[in-house]
């Protein structure tokens, strides 16, 4: 099951031009991760095929399983 679901209509989002697009409701979204501890926007670090998240507010790495993923309208 895909993790990229439209927050408006619950349909699977498509990847287009560097953003996520919903064909059902014609909206475009940006996938953003937020810190589970302080709700700050996280920086995505990608190396060797693995993704990690860093919180500049807490000044520490955050587990991918703990981050809160949200689709913001573009």
pLDDT tens-digit series, residues 16-27: 999 999 999 999
The model's pLDDT over 5-54, given as tens digits with 9 standing for 90+, comes to 999 999 999 999 999 999 999 999 999 999 999 999 999 998 888 889 99
* Residues 53 and 61 sit within 8 Å (Cβ to Cβ): yes
Q: Per-residue confidence at 1, pLDDT binned at 50, 70, 90?
A: very low
Sketch the domain layout of the chain as residue ranges: 14-73
The predicted pLDDT at position 2 comes to 56
CATH of domain 14-73: 2.10.290.10
Using DSSP, state whether 16 is helix, strand or coil.
strand
pLDDT of residue 48: 86
Position 22 scores a pLDDT of 95
Write the CB contacts of 53 (distance below 8 Å, at least 6 apart in sequence).
33, 35, 42, 43, 44, 45, 61, 62, 63, 64, 67
């Amino acid at each position: 099951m895909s993790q990229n679901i439209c927050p408006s209509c619950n349909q699977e989002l498509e990847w287009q031009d560097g953003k996520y697009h919903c064909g059902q409701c014609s909206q475009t979204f940006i996938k953003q991760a937020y810190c589970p501890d302080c709700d700050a926007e996280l920086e995505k670090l990608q190396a060797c095929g693995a993704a990690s998240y860093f919180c500049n507010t807490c000044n520490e790495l955050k587990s991918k399983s703990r981050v809160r993923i949200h689709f913001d309208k573009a």
